[in-house]
Structure 1
Amino acid sequence: MRKLRIGIAGMNRGKHFYKDFSKVEGAEVVAVMDPDQQALEQFQHKYSGIYVFTEYEDLLDADIDAVVIASPLKFHAEQAILALNRDIHVLSEVTAATTIEDCRSLLRAVKESKAQYMMAENYCYIRENVAIRNMVEKGVFGEIYFAEGEYLHNVTSLHYDNNGQPTWRKKDMMNKRGLTYGTHSLGPTLNWFNERVKYVNCLGSGSHTVSEYKNDDTTIMLCRTENGALINIRLDMVSNRPHNMGYYSLQGTKGCYEAPRVPGEKHRVWLEDYAESSEQWMDLSDLYADFLPPELVNFPEEANDSHHWGADYFMVKDFVKCISENKPVKIDIYKALEYTLPGLLSEASIVADGIPVEVPDVRKW
């Protein structure tokens, strides 16, 4: 059986995908695309024997089985739809789309295609998040009812290119209010609850660090799930502070989880069935062997230098396995839209002073 032939659109993030796909048995990157000729030349200088294109349509023509969409956010839905219309499998960077209309169009394209769509929400593959999900499924937290996710990452240095021109990050994300980039925080927490968000309330701190930006320095999105649980999501991509791109917490009737706030701290849990007292925290890693597969307990060499704490490698490997074996992908179109839609609806809430806005059930579309 031939290897899965992969094409990659967008080389800024795509070059990292290339490295991870190169480590996975059963797949090979055969073509890449970027409108920036210089980016392609830099890629060719480092990696040979791969077709390069400046046009996305040419990439789709290159006899590929699957395409990785690592393009700027506004192209995600459009490029995914074009691939699905040709029955080419899609692994798309987050978020899935930027408008409700595009969400509907994307869902329609998936339904009409013979190919699969997966959103590349790599944070769902981070080892600690997988462990918590497995622990929830085993019931060690009891009934869970509250979670938090935070993505604090000052990216103002990426708002202009080397020529001083504004990038898509500035043009598409800083010129509107709302939780514009929330799936890294919301995806893993929704994965724990295994349900969707029904209502969102969104408020912002105002713009202080770069006063010209419409997007608030800190944006808070409160999510009420269909079964009544509460999830608090915080996004901040401009404040002057050290990064913390992976803070989470979880509360249940029999236990809780806290991710580190600062480097050097440990992921910790308190579990009624494991602790000797109500004040005894445990190191989450002490429970890995009970709640994780062996390769997530002791990382293989291939994962050690993969981005996002090894998660990118495991995500790519899982995508290749699912497509090659014709099994459903883990983050399908429904989960992708359930992770994406709350952020899109938060834009309506924040401009109306935080009123609750209902999130549609995409499984009924």
Structure 2
Amino acid sequence: MSAAAAALGAVPAQAAPKGDTRAEVDRLYQEAERATQAYDKAQEREGTLRREVREAQDLIARQQQRVNTLREQLGSLAGAQYRSGGIDPAVALLFSDSPDDYLDKASTLDRITSQQAGQLRELQSALRDLAQERTVAVGKLAELESSRKAVATQKRTVVRKLARARQLLNALPPADRAVLGRASRSDGDGRLDLSDLTGLIAPDTPDAPDARAAAAVAAARSALGRPYVWGASGPSGFDCSGLMQWSYAHAGVQLPRTSQEQRFAGRQVPLSEARPGDLVIYRSDASHVGMYVGNGQVIHAPYPGAAVRYDPVGMMPVSSVTRP
């Protein structure tokens, strides 16, 4: 059995004070973490929509300029022909917002040249494109507003749950609070992270198997001691999935933003075969993620109030291991 697999049950139990309080704090942290991942996803979607709206607006501006140019060309040509007596004043219909009616009347087609007819059809096409692009932009703006509301909702959820957890912790005596804080990554069955003494001390870990994994592990190690900040992806603070995304970006690999998406951002391997650089996904809902660094240890951003640190891989239930 590998060190990774053995470490699952290797973390000794330790009595935490106020069992009910500990269970409630753990539950609140877990729910806040789940909401944080939803917030990250909504925020990422909002950023994507903002870019798409800007692109749609740029396209509309270019298309409007094309329409204006075509109208100017038709106006110049029609004006010259009218002054020379070659075209009927009815050609003014060419410059309406909807020139379709004009072209549809075959009896008038002999009053314009083939060049004008071609330009008119081009104008028709440009107007249709412009209308379609405006419709798309309106849809994107509506979706953006919906995404903003989703971000705000998830933010309120996270803030509320973290505030309640902090309230519970602050009501405890300092000694109990310290023990409970160290125990807060447990899954409730007595497996604790024991990071009070060693969370920032590098364990004796093997080398990463390749250059990409080595670069990601090195980046994660460089973040040790930086604070957990929900919704953050570095460099001054991180949530759990933000740390993984930031670390792998240093290896030239673009991971998705959330732990749920990161779960499928590579090949899944058994925990017994975990290698440095692999992503360890926790809980059945994939609401937490850490980076395996060898010898039964992960680096992760634990929870608000804690710094990025080393912890045992078995600190809570492992649902899968992904190798990007």
TM-score of the two chains, using structure 1 as the length reference: 0.21
Greater fraction helix:
2
- Kindly name which structure, 1 or 2, has the bigger radius of gyration based on alpha carbons: 2
Greater fraction strand:
1
More relative contact order, 1 or 2 (CA 8 Å, 6+ apart): 2
TM-score of the two chains, using structure 2 as the length reference: 0.22
